A and B are shown apart, each in its own frame.
Chain A
Amino acid sequence: MKEFLEGSLAVAEVVKLCKPGVISAYPITPQTHIVEELAQIVADGKLNAEFVNVESEHSALSCVLGAVATGVRAYTATSSQGLLYMGEVVFNVAGLRLPLVMTCANRAVSAPINIWNDQQDSVSLRDAGWIQFYAEDIQEAVDLHLIGYRLGEDKSMMLPVMVCMDGFILTHGIETVDMPTQEQVDKFLPAYQPLYKLDPQDPVTMGPLVDPEAYAETRYAIEKTLEEALKLIPKVTLEFAKVFARQYHGLVEEYRLKDADRAIVAMGSVCGTIKEVIDELRVKGKKVGLLKITSYRPFPAHEIYAALKNVNKVAVLDRALSLGSDAPLVSEIKALFFGKKNKPQVISSFIVGLGGRDITKDSIKEMLRLLTARERAAEFIDLKPELLKEKYE
């Protein structure tokens, strides 16, 4: 049924429909509304789950790790500093091959402290072995939670999924959302069947010391499983379409890209703004397109190559940095074209919207204006040079 919902409430509602047995979370802006609503849902008896209040994000993720290890579906959510504080457990969940869905309400990272949106938090944890999805709008955020549980719990995967949604823009924005029914969700998402679990009747040890004789194999297995995920994701989204009548590719989305000579590559909510700019420019006869990356991990290099190989100039929009080197997204886009015969003449890097600075249609147009034959390295859009100084006196 279509409802006019705040992003956080829509996510809380869909998590309820996925029937997790354990939820544990520590509040942090802009994730708070999601877990506040879930706490209320559990307190009202509308969801038969344990809501575990904890003293930190490190404990929240440890708690749900333990829950999944005992064979129950679990959920948590966080942002920014909270995600970084979870850091070591983030690696543990993937390392133990425990399927979990966590929402990351994307927020900038301190210092200086900033509660607003960019994607530095989740991008910084891209190497942990999780599947990472980035949502463009609230509907997609809702749907990616369903797809996330189904995908991560697939017997060939057994990996955690992070659904990243831009803080405030999506968590606090209000949109019309087609909320699924319980029947639809039950049809798409069967009860969680663990491969192994902690059970006193049939004891096992999870995560014992693995010495140099075998550690590499545990990592290799995750690497190969994530490669397989590239094939499984489109299959799961096809299954999703059969039940919910909404079609996602799951890895990337091409928008007016077929005949484009210039393209923007981006992740997350900014894709909506970019699509509007593209529509305006197309009316004027400009051949511009968008490649939206939904799955950042696993990284769909093949799909990106196929989508961009005949595009003349590509602008890569990063909302995170790898300080001291190329921005995260652009470095991977450049790398996948290395040694290829068909490739864009120019792949320029633009840094936009850090710490919640608005990305307006003008910001996107400025990016396209700077997308010339001269390749740009880390061009900051909407930078205020007057705030910079060479030294403090």
Chain B
Amino acid sequence: MFGPLIVKPGSSKNNKTGSWRTEVEPKFLKKNCIACKMCLLICPEGCIDGAEKNTYDFDPLYCKGCGNCAMICPKKDIEMVKEE
């Protein structure tokens, strides 16, 4: 007999980590973005997506509000703002 011990890939999508979010969330200004992907790469939840310049944004269902994306953005094109 076995209990639940293994999980298949992709299961972290089931954990809506956005519910842990601190009081701030990133605001993608979409003005000076150079599509360097630094925000996408540093995001610990992998919840930032985009392709062309000024198209990057985050998924509030998973964003924990850590602010790493705003910190790393070389163009200061992401701001941490108080959640509405």
Q: Is the CB of A389 within 8 A of B5?
A: no
Q: Which residues of A contact B5 (CB under 8 A)?
A: 111-112
Q: Which residues of B contact A389 (CB under 8 A)?
A: 1-2
* Chain B: CB-nearest residue to A390: B1
* Chain A: CB-nearest residue to B4: A387
**Mask of B1-36 contacts with A, CB within 8 angstroms, 1/0:** 111111000000000000000000000000000000
Q: How far is the CA of A391 from the CA of B4 in the complex (A)?
A: 11
**In the complex, what's the smallest C-beta–C-beta distance from A108 to chain B, in angstroms?**
13
- How many chain B residues sit at the interface, stated as a range, is under 10
**Mask of A377-393 contacts with B, CB within 8 angstroms, 1/0:** 00000000001111110
- How many chain A residues sit at the interface, stated as a range, is under 10
**How would you classify the secondary structure of chain A's contact residues: helix, strand, loop or mixed?**
loop
Q: How far is the CA of A391 from the CA of B1 in the complex (A)?
A: 6
**In the complex, what's the smallest C-beta–C-beta distance from A352 to chain B, in angstroms?**
17
Q: Is the CB of B6 within 8 A of A392?
A: yes
* Chain B: CB-nearest residue to A391: B2
Q: How far is the CA of A387 from the CA of B2 in the complex (A)?
A: 9
Q: Which residues of A contact B1 (CB under 8 A)?
A: 388-390
Q: How far is the CA of A389 from the CA of B4 in the complex (A)?
A: 8
Q: How far is the CA of A387 from the CA of B6 in the complex (A)?
A: 12
Q: How far is the CA of A112 from the CA of B1 in the complex (A)?
A: 16
Q: Which residues of B contact A391 (CB under 8 A)?
A: 2
**Mask of A349-393 contacts with B, CB within 8 angstroms, 1/0:** 000000000000000000000000000000000000001111110
Q: Which residues of B contact A388 (CB under 8 A)?
A: 1-3
Q: How far is the CA of A111 from the CA of B1 in the complex (A)?
A: 16
* Chain A: CB-nearest residue to B5: A112
**Mask of A77-114 contacts with B, CB within 8 angstroms, 1/0:** 00000000000000000000000000000000001100
Q: How far is the CA of A389 from the CA of B2 in the complex (A)?
A: 5
Q: Which residues of B contact A112 (CB under 8 A)?
A: 5
Q: How far is the CA of A392 from the CA of B8 in the complex (A)?
A: 12
Q: How far is the CA of A204 from the CA of B19 in the complex (A)?
A: 60
Q: Which residues of A contact B6 (CB under 8 A)?
A: 392
Q: How far is the CA of A112 from the CA of B6 in the complex (A)?
A: 9
Q: How far is the CA of A387 from the CA of B22 in the complex (A)?
A: 33
**Mask of B26-62 contacts with A, CB within 8 angstroms, 1/0:** 0000000000000000000000000000000000000
Q: Which residues of A contact B4 (CB under 8 A)?
A: 387
Q: How far is the CA of A392 from the CA of B2 in the complex (A)?
A: 8
Q: How far is the CA of A257 from the CA of B6 in the complex (A)?
A: 45
**In the complex, what's the smallest C-beta–C-beta distance from A145 to chain B, in angstroms?**
34
* Chain A: CB-nearest residue to B6: A392
**In the complex, what's the smallest C-beta–C-beta distance from B69 to chain A, in angstroms?**
28
* Chain B: CB-nearest residue to A387: B4
* Chain B: CB-nearest residue to A111: B5
**In the complex, what's the smallest C-beta–C-beta distance from B40 to chain A, in angstroms?**
29
Of residues 91 to 143 in A, which have CB atoms within 8 Å of B's CB atoms? 111-112
**In the complex, what's the smallest C-beta–C-beta distance from A313 to chain B, in angstroms?**
29
* Chain B: CB-nearest residue to A392: B2
Q: Which residues of B contact A111 (CB under 8 A)?
A: 5
Q: How far is the CA of A88 from the CA of B3 in the complex (A)?
A: 31
Q: How far is the CA of A230 from the CA of B4 in the complex (A)?
A: 43
**In the complex, what's the smallest C-beta–C-beta distance from B14 to chain A, in angstroms?**
15
Q: How far is the CA of A306 from the CA of B84 in the complex (A)?
A: 63
Q: How far is the CA of A389 from the CA of B1 in the complex (A)?
A: 6
* Chain B: CB-nearest residue to A389: B2
**In the complex, what's the smallest C-beta–C-beta distance from A323 to chain B, in angstroms?**
13
**In the complex, what's the smallest C-beta–C-beta distance from B7 to chain A, in angstroms?**
10
**In the complex, what's the smallest C-beta–C-beta distance from B76 to chain A, in angstroms?**
35
Q: How far is the CA of A67 from the CA of B4 in the complex (A)?
A: 44
Q: How far is the CA of A387 from the CA of B4 in the complex (A)?
A: 6
Q: Which residues of A contact B3 (CB under 8 A)?
A: 387-388
**In the complex, what's the smallest C-beta–C-beta distance from A86 to chain B, in angstroms?**
27
Q: Which residues of A contact B2 (CB under 8 A)?
A: 388-392
Sample (8) of A-B pairs whose CB atoms are under 8 Å apart: A111-B5, A112-B5, A387-B3, A387-B4, A388-B1, A388-B2, A390-B2, A391-B2
- For the complex of A and B, 6 pairs with smallest distance between CB atoms: A387-B4, A389-B2, A388-B1, A388-B3, A390-B1, A387-B3
Other than the known A390-B1, A392-B2, what 11 A-B pairs have Cβ atoms closer than 8 Å?
A: A111-B5, A387-B3, A387-B4, A388-B1, A388-B2, A388-B3, A389-B1, A389-B2, A390-B2, A391-B2, A392-B6
